[in-house]
């Protein structure tokens, strides 16, 4: 394409964008265990000026009664339970609900909206939702997940994390963790929970929301900037750990792509989330890369490095894959490409 | 029939997607705007946008947009005759060129007027170039970007079209001495002059005329004219010898499309061209009117490779007025226009203003839309965005055909 219709303004990943979402509609995913306070938090947000123009998709049956905003329950769709895979059914349901929102807005049948908040069912592992945006080309073209916000109840959250692998997954995949009910739980419990959360997900920003009061920007701001302060190598009982791969010299794109292909092919299910900025040889701006298990989001080149620091930094959240293994793989591939 | 009592009338929710509306100004109640927009940096540093009106009584309006959040009208001039319209204007430096067209052939004044607007509050006429004639309606559109030549779609007293609707053709006017404009060249589509020994072209069903519309010339290729010829299609013209313009290639979509080809904007670095149709019929009766993307690697052989997608016609057709393509931001030469070969911005009447990402020219993607509510006083009950201009600050200016005046916006994508 670049040879047929060249342009100095377009890099190898197309037109450079001011921000990662480009023209796409920002999506915030709110997860959290049953009773953690997701709906209360969302209601408060919708009442703020920042919450104006938010379309809400509730991925759970029976969640109604949020006033003055558009509420869509994707469970309203008739779901054919037939193929046995609940995760896939939930996804197609969500896909339909999201597409309908866009089509109806385009036709002028819905009030204009600026962003979408998906409130997931308490029991849900959020990774299928993230995968949806990576695999559905039509959806990925229209929407961009800006932040995964997980709500944890200070009173019972610690226990829940102990027995529920879904709850742990929700915490591990979060960009931001919002701890609720700290006034009820008391300081000791809140501090213990914070330590537990920090161990599971050292990169996430941990926020407290007393009476659901939270700075609305924490639900709307892209999560990129949060990812610079990752603590290297943190592992816990599930074998899940996270680390940041940094690199000061420009990376040839084929080397990065081949290394990630190999990782996805060999250990896709254990590659829970990979996201970061890459200094790609031949590109001006940082290239945002994102992977969820065996799926890759299309890379996006931005116009400028957010903090002027031209260093590749890619966060890995993995299960039983060590930083050393990934580093060695990248080094080996770079040497060969 | 008033829009409100028409059972077919639809309404739609307004959309502001990836644009940020900064301000709207109804221009003192004369907000029916045409298709001429040019930005001047005045001697005192003010940024003035000059706007053409769709029809009488106003001639042109100058608006101070130094602060695009607070546009202020600095001058608004009147036409001497109700049968005139000055739908098009363009400027270089402090000289503003204005096109005068009349409702009927034979009426006056019809032609080109140059103004000195070095004091924006006091436009001063420099000269008038008469284009009136028994078979002429004067000038519909002009291009004036190098300070030397006005390229325009105009009739002439000495031109007799083979069909009365074909009165406007391409004329090149030397204005290097702005006090004495002189015609240096002209070209018409073969068969449209009564003196041609070629058969006149076959009429289209809507029959909007075989006449020139946009006449764009860019400093990248000063020897090329990109000419759209309403029912006749797009011509790439060699104007190295201004006295003797020669067609290099021709591309048309009509028939089977319904004519009214409007603007051709070459994207030189990318070997591409954008060509627009104009929707001229209410209720989308001339649907589809589109922005076309052409592969121009070989300028002698333009190939259409894509169009910019529009929302469903059934959701817009009966909202009132027209729905379909018209003007696009033309990368006007000069320091006060944004230059973009990645993003296309176009106006679509009741379809509002839309922006497309053409980084992959085979698959233009809509990336932003602005469909404001019907402006106060709109006779059709819907927005009718007519023209768009983006300045080098990337502030977007668009205007309504009937009453909404000027809208200023930021791109947010």
What is the pLDDT averaged over residues B159-188? 98
Walk me through the domains of chain B, giving residue ranges and CATH numbers: 3-411 (2.130.10.10)
H-helix segments, chain A: 38-46, 86-106, 127-135, 137-142, 157-163, 165-172, 182-185, 187-200, 217-220, 253-267, 323-336
Same structural domain, A62 and A158: yes
Same structural domain, A212 and A85: yes
Same structural domain, A291 and A208: no
Return the number of other C-beta atoms located less than 10 Å from residue A34's C-beta: 14
Q: Tell me what pLDDT residue B147 has.
A: 97
What is the pLDDT averaged over residues A251-264? 95
Same structural domain, A212 and A180: yes
- Preferred mutation among B10, B14, B270, B308 to probe A, highest tally of A CBs within 10 A: B270
Q: Tell me what pLDDT residue B29 has.
A: 97
Instruction: Identify the domain boundary among A197, A226, A255.
Output: A226
The answer to whether the Cβ–Cβ distance between A15 and B357 falls below 8 Å is yes
Residue with the bigger pLDDT between A274 and B2: it is A274
> Does A87 score more than 60 pLDDT?
no
Domain-located, residue A317: yes
Same structural domain, A290 and A148: no
Name the band, by pLDDT with cuts 50, 70 and 90, for residue A238.
low
Chain A contact set for B361 (CB, 8 A): 1, 5
What is the total count of domains within chain A?
Answer: 2
Same structural domain, A162 and A114: yes
**For A187-235, how does the pLDDT look when each residue is reduced to its tens digit (9 = 90+)?**
888 889 999 998 888 888 999 988 778 899 998 888 764 433 333 334 4
What is the pLDDT averaged over residues B203-210? 97
Domain-located, residue A117: yes
The radius of gyration computed from the CA coordinates of chain B, to the nearest angstrom, equals 20
What is the pLDDT averaged over residues B273-279? 98
What is the pLDDT averaged over residues B188-215? 97
Same structural domain, A127 and A211: yes
Distance CA B33, CA B224 (A): 29
Chain A contact set for B10 (CB, 8 A): 108
- Could you tell me which chain A residue has the CA closest to the CA of B341? A7
Domain-located, residue A326: yes
Q: Which of A1, A23, A107 sits opposite B367 (nearest CB)?
A: A23
What is the pLDDT averaged over residues B17-43? 97
Instruction: Identify the domain boundary among A164, A194, A226.
Output: A226
What is the pLDDT averaged over residues B19-33? 98
Residue A170: domain span: 25-226
- Could you tell me which chain A residue has the CA closest to the CA of B15? A112
What is the pLDDT averaged over residues B75-88? 97
Task: Find the range with the poorest average confidence among A51-55, B14-18, B56-60.
Answer: A51-55
Q: How far is A9 from chain B (nearest CA, A)?
A: 8
CATH of the domain at A173: 3.40.50.300
Q: Tell me what pLDDT residue A224 has.
A: 61
From edge to edge, which strands make up the β-sheet containing A176-180? A70-73, A54-59, A115-120, A25-32, A143-153, A176-180, A205-209
Chain B contact set for A23 (CB, 8 A): 18, 357, 365-368, 413
Token pair recorded at residue A15: 């037109």
Count of A-B CB contacts under 8 Å:
75
Domain-located, residue A9: no
Domain-located, residue A231: no
**For B377-398, how does the pLDDT look when each residue is reduced to its tens digit (9 = 90+)?**
999 999 999 999 999 999 999 9
> Does B19 score more than 90 pLDDT?
yes
Distance, CA of B273 to chain centre: 16
> Does B369 score more than 90 pLDDT?
yes
- Preferred mutation among A106, A112, A298, A301 to probe B, highest tally of B CBs within 10 A: A106
Domain-located, residue A128: yes
The answer to whether the Cβ–Cβ distance between A106 and B312 falls below 8 Å is yes
Same structural domain, A193 and A248: no
**For A154-197, how does the pLDDT look when each residue is reduced to its tens digit (9 = 90+)?**
988 999 888 888 888 899 889 999 999 888 888 888 889 999 99
Distance CA A258, CA A249 (A): 18
What is the pLDDT averaged over residues B247-268? 97
Same structural domain, A307 and A189: no
Residue with the bigger pLDDT between B70 and A96: it is B70
Residue with the bigger pLDDT between B288 and A60: it is B288
Chain B contact set for A141 (CB, 8 A): 365
- Preferred mutation among A108, A112, A116, A301 to probe B, highest tally of B CBs within 10 A: A108
Instruction: Identify the domain boundary among A184, A208, A226.
Output: A226
Question: Chain-wide mean pLDDT for chain B?
Answer: 96
- Could you tell me which chain A residue has the CA closest to the CA of B269? A7
Please name which of B248, B244, B168, B238 lies closest in space to residue B210, comparing C-alpha atoms: B168
Distance, CA of B294 to chain centre: 19
Same structural domain, A186 and A256: no
CATH of the domain at A241: 3.30.1220.10
What is the DSSP secondary-structure string of B319-381?
A: SSSBBS---B----SSTTS---SSEEEEE-BTT-EEEEE-SSTTS-EEEEEEEPPPPTT-TTS
Domain-located, residue A306: yes
> Does B234 score more than 90 pLDDT?
yes
Return the number of other C-beta atoms located less than 10 Å from residue B314's C-beta: 11
Token pair recorded at residue B87: 């739908």
CA atoms within 13 A on the CB side of A213: 4
ipTM above 0.90, yes or no: no
Chain B contact set for A108 (CB, 8 A): 10-15, 315-316, 319, 371
Q: Which chain B residues have any C-beta within 8 angstroms of a chain A C-beta?
A: 10-18, 269-272, 295, 297, 311-312, 315-316, 319, 340-343, 357, 359-362, 365-368, 371, 413
Same structural domain, A36 and A168: yes
Name the band, by pLDDT with cuts 50, 70 and 90, for residue A63.
very low
Please give the share of chain A, as a percent, with pLDDT higher than 70.
85
Residue bearing tokens 């200023």:
B408
Domain-located, residue A155: yes
What is the pLDDT averaged over residues A251-278? 92
Distance CA A17, CA A24 (A): 11
> Does B293 score more than 80 pLDDT?
yes
């Amino acid at each position: 394409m670049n040879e047929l219709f060249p342009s100095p303004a377009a890099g190898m990943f197309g037109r450079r964008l001011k921000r990662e979402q480009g023209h796409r509609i920002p999506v915030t995913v709110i997860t959290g265990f049953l009773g953690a306070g997701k709906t209360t938090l969302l209601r408060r947000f919708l009442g703020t000026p920042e919450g104006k123009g938010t379309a809400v998709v509730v991925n759970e049956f029976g969640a109604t009664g949020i006033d003055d905003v558009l509420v869509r329950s994707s469970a309203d769709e008739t779901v054919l339970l037939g193929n046995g895979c609940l995760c896939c059914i939930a996804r197609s349901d969500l896909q339909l609900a999201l597409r309908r929102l866009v089509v109806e807005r385009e036709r002028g049948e819905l009030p204009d909206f600026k962003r979408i908040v998906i409130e997931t069912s308490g029991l849900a592992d959020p990774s299928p939702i993230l995968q949806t945006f990576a695999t559905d080309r039509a959806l990925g073209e229209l929407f961009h997940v800006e932040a995964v916000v997980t709500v944890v109840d200070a009173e019972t959250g610690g226990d829940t994390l102990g027995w529920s692998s879904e709850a742990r997954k929700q915490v591990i995949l979060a960009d931001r963790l919002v701890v609720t009910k700290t006034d009820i739980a008391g300081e000791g419990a809140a501090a213990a929970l914070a330590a537990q959360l920090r161990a599971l997900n050292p990169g996430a920003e941990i926020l407290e929301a007393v009476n659901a009061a939270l700075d609305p920007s924490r639900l709307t701001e892209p999560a990129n900037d949060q990812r610079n302060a990752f603590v290297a190598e943190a592992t816990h009982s599930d074998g899940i750990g996270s680390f940041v791969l940094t690199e000061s010299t420009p990376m040839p794109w084929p080397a990065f792509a081949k290394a990630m292909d190999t990782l996805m092919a060999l250990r896709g299910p254990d590659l829970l989330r990979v996201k970061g900025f890459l200094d790609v040889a031949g590109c001006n701006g940082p290239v945002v890369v994102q992977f969820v298990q065996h799926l890759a989001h299309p890379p996006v080149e931005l116009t400028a490095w957010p903090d002027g620091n031209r260093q590749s930094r890619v966060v890995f959240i993995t299960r039983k894959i060590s930083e050393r293994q990934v580093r060695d793989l990248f080094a080996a591939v770079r040497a060969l490409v | 029939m008033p829009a409100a009592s028409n059972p077919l009338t639809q309404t739609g929710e307004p959309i502001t997607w990836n644009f940020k509306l900064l301000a709207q100004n109804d221009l003192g109640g004369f907000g029916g705007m045409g298709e001429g927009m040019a930005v001047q940096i005045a001697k005192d540093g003010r940024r003035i946008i000059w706007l053409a009106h769709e029809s009488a009584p106003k001639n042109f309006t100058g608006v101070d947009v130094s602060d695009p959040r607070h546009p202020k009208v600095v001058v608004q001039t009147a036409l001497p005759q109700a049968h005139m319209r000055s739908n098009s204007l363009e400027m270089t430096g402090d000289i503003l060129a204005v096109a005068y067209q009349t409702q009927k052939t034979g009426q006056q004044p019809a032609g080109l007027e140059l103004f000195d607007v070095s004091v924006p509050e006091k436009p001063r006429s420099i000269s008038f170039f008469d284009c009136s004639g028994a078979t002429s309606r004067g000038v519909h559109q002009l291009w004036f970007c190098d300070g030397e030549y006005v390229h325009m779609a105009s009739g002439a007293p000495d031109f007799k079209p083979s069909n009365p609707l074909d009165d406007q053709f391409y004329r090149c006017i030397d204005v290097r001495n702005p006090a004495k404009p002189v015609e240096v060249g002209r070209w018409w589509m073969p068969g449209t002059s009564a003196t041609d020994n070629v058969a006149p072209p076959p009429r289209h069903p809507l029959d909007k005329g075989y006449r020139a519309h946009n006449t764009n010339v860019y400093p990248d290729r000063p020897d090329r004219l990109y000419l759209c010829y309403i029912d006749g299609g797009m011509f790439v013209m060699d104007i190295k010898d201004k006295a003797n313009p020669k067609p290099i290639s021709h591309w048309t979509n009509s028939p089977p499309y319904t004519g009214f080809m409007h603007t051709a904007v070459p994207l030189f670095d990318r070997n591409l061209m954008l060509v627009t149709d104009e929707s001229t019929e209410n209720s989308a009766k001339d649907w589809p009117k589109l922005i076309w993307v052409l592969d121009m690697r070989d300028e002698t052989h333009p190939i259409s490779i894509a169009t910019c997608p529009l929302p469903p016609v059934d959701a817009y057709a009966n909202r009132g007025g027209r729905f379909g393509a018209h003007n696009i931001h033309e990368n006007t030469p000069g320091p006060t226009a944004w230059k973009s070969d990645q993003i296309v911005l176009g106006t679509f009447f009741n379809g509002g203003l839309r922006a497309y990402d053409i980084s992959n020219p085979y698959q233009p993607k809509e990336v932003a839309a602005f469909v404001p509510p019907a402006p106060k006083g709109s006779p059709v009950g819907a927005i009718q965005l007519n023209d768009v201009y983006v300045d080098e600050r990337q502030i977007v200016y668009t205007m309504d055909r009937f009453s909404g005046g000027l809208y200023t916006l930021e791109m947010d994508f």
